[in-house]
A and B are shown apart, each in its own frame.
Chain A
Amino acid sequence: MDIFVQLIYSGIALGMIYAVVAFGYQLTFSTSATLNFGQGEALMLGSMVGLTLSNLGINYWLIIPLVCVFGFLQGTVVEYLGVRPAIKIKSEFGWIMSTIALGIIFRNFAENIWGRSTFRFPGPFEDDPIKLFGANILPMEILVVLGAVSMMLLVEIFNRKSIYGKAVVATANDRDAAGLMGINTGLVITFSYALSSLTASFAGVLISPLTLAGSGAGGALGLKAFAVAIVGGLSSGLGIVVGGIILGVSETLTGFYVSTGYKDVPSLIILLIVLSFKPAGLFGKTTIKKV
């Protein structure tokens, strides 16, 4: 029983990481109806840059804002090179290939800089677990959940309260009309990409002390976070948290009770089921495209 609860805890922590990365998918999808398929690589870059900083002796708490700045810049580059040209010529699918391509390029760079092996990422806490409801939980797991939730809340508050956040929402609602209000919507889209990579690289620094950091860590994580975004719905904040937890918990439970070799299977089966019965996601609103 203790082990079961413990697996739930780890599953939730993992799920929140998926949720944060999925949140990044939502950010760009809402403003420009495009996605950064290199989100997983943004997470990987965040953790590798964080690891480099950590090796230089920089404190974990200081690494977080530094990596966030790095992620912000990385997202800007992705938008400029991969997405802006596609939006400009109104290409419906050009951004898919170009964001995937940029993701691969980033991974190649990372493999050449840091090699292909995985490294231990020192966290800010000792590894002594805390007892919570009779089961062990790592302080780092609590930090992951708190960090993920506060990141999403911060962006929500920004969007609801500040005039710039409202400009982002307006662009998401109706890009042309937002332009007529004097909002530079191109810049808003760049900003949404920067913010989306920022959240992904932040997630990278959060998760790495629990897993391991390595240049190959991005692909699978990015894909599973994408599954979470689809399961939860590309427009629902609650949906990705619930979707993330479902996928994270199913993964840790399968990994322990069945086999680690099958741990990714249930989440992808859930994805297939949701897609066939509720294609807009568990919490997504079905929209009808008028032509």
Chain B
Amino acid sequence: MLIIKDLESGYGKVNVLKKINIEVPKNKVVTLIGANGAGKTTTLRTITGMIKLTSGHITLNGKSIDNFPSYKVACLGLAHSPEGRRVFPSLTVFDNLQLGAFPRLTGSRPRGDFKGDIDRAMELFPKLKERRNQLAGTLSGGEQQMLAMARAIMLNPDIILLDEPSMGLAPILVEEVFKIIARLKAAGTTMLLVEQFAVGALNIADYAYVLENGRISMHGPASKLKNDPAIKAAYLGGH
């Protein structure tokens, strides 16, 4: 589905990512974990063309998307729920969801069952149903995260990139977010999940990559990495 090969990118002349390779197969959940500043968000931003790649290749469904502008990547079926939620504060919850489906409503992607998908999104995130006509800027942090995820789903994407969905949320809300990711996984959604909260991510993912200073330092099935002593010590707070 999504293949990243020898990717290098960064800000200005400084390369943050150094030849990283990641593969996200169809219907699988892959997680990318690592400490602050390891380059997790940079990886996602490079995939969706928010940052230029300096070398390497990204292919989506067998098609090269190197340095495509963000809107083209979205139209090809890749949804990116960005770090910090980035909902549109002056628009209502419904408008935000509608914009998630923008390529479907404007002919760049098959329209599908738009109304049904809105209903399903509201069902998955009951909070949003209550707040349907409220401005997104007035929602709490947790609700905004739900909205950002629901908005990504509205694209009817082939793959979803989730950037730190648990960031800044109370533990009970983190649990809720992960429950929803589990439901999406059960429905066969392909996902690339970036997380600092490694326990949650490794519990849910099929496969995991560990990013350290812009390099993939380790990768393997999530169940295996979870029990790796080095990972335990560095990311899971184990002894």
User: Which A residues have a C-beta under 8 Å from some C-beta of B?
Assistant: 163-164, 166-167, 169-170, 172-174, 176-186
State the total of A-B contacts with C-beta under 8 angstroms.
74
Contacts A180-B80, A182-B102, A184-B71; A166 near B95 (Cβ below 8 A): yes
Q: Is there an interface contact between A177 and B98, defined as CB atoms closer than 8 Å?
A: no
Q: Is the interface of A mostly helix, strand, loop or mixed?
A: helix
Q: Is there an interface contact between A182 and B86, defined as CB atoms closer than 8 Å?
A: no
> How many angstroms between the C-alpha atoms of A284 and B101 in the bound complex?
32
Q: Is there an interface contact between A174 and B86, defined as CB atoms closer than 8 Å?
A: yes
Q: Is there an interface contact between B71 and A183, defined as CB atoms closer than 8 Å?
A: yes
Which residues from chain A contact B102 at a C-beta distance below 8 Å? 163, 167, 181-183
Contacts A163-B98, A166-B91, A174-B86; A179 near B106 (Cβ below 8 A): no
Q: Is there an interface contact between A180 and B106, defined as CB atoms closer than 8 Å?
A: no
Q: Is there an interface contact between B71 and A185, defined as CB atoms closer than 8 Å?
A: yes
Which one of A164, A169, A182 contacts B88 once the chains associate, using CB atoms below 8 Å? A169
Q: Which residues of chain B from 20 to 63 have any CB-CB distance to chain A below 8 Å in the complex?
A: 48-50
* Nearest A residue to B84, CB-CB: A177
Which residues from chain A contact B75 at a C-beta distance below 8 Å? 182
- Number of chain B residues whose Cβ lies closer than 8 Å to a Cβ of chain A: 29
Q: Is there an interface contact between B98 and A166, defined as CB atoms closer than 8 Å?
A: yes
User: Which B residues have a C-beta under 8 Å from some C-beta of A?
Assistant: 48-50, 69-71, 74-75, 79-80, 82, 86-91, 95, 98-100, 102-103, 105-106, 108-109, 151, 155
**New A-B contacts (19) at CB < 8 Å, excluding given A176-B70, A182-B102:** A163-B98, A163-B106, A164-B106, A166-B91, A166-B95, A166-B98, A167-B99, A167-B102, A169-B88, A170-B91, A170-B99, A177-B87, A179-B70, A179-B71, A180-B48, A180-B70, A180-B80, A182-B108, A183-B102
Which residues from chain A contact B155 at a C-beta distance below 8 Å? 181-182
Shortest distance in angstroms between A173's beta carbon and chain B's nearest beta carbon? 4
* Nearest B residue to A174, CB-CB: B86
Which residues from chain B contact A169 at a C-beta distance below 8 Å? 88, 90-91, 95
Q: Is there an interface contact between A180 and B69, defined as CB atoms closer than 8 Å?
A: no
Which residues from chain B contact A167 at a C-beta distance below 8 Å? 99, 102
Which residues from chain A contact B103 at a C-beta distance below 8 Å? 182
Which residues from chain B contact A182 at a C-beta distance below 8 Å? 71, 74-75, 102-103, 108-109, 155
* Nearest A residue to B79, CB-CB: A180
> How many angstroms between the C-alpha atoms of A112 and B178 in the bound complex?
68
> How many angstroms between the C-alpha atoms of A163 and B74 in the bound complex?
17
* Nearest B residue to A166, CB-CB: B95
Contacts A163-B98, A163-B102, A170-B99; A177 near B88 (Cβ below 8 A): yes
> How many angstroms between the C-alpha atoms of A185 and B90 in the bound complex?
17
**A-B contacts, 8 listed (Cβ < 8 Å):** A163-B99, A173-B90, A174-B88, A176-B50, A179-B69, A181-B102, A182-B74, A182-B155
Shortest distance in angstroms between B136's beta carbon and chain A's nearest beta carbon? 9
Which residues from chain B contact A172 at a C-beta distance below 8 Å? 90
> 3 tightest A-B contacts by CB?
A179-B70, A182-B74, A182-B103
> How many angstroms between the C-alpha atoms of A136 and B75 in the bound complex?
58
Shortest distance in angstroms between A151's beta carbon and chain B's nearest beta carbon? 22
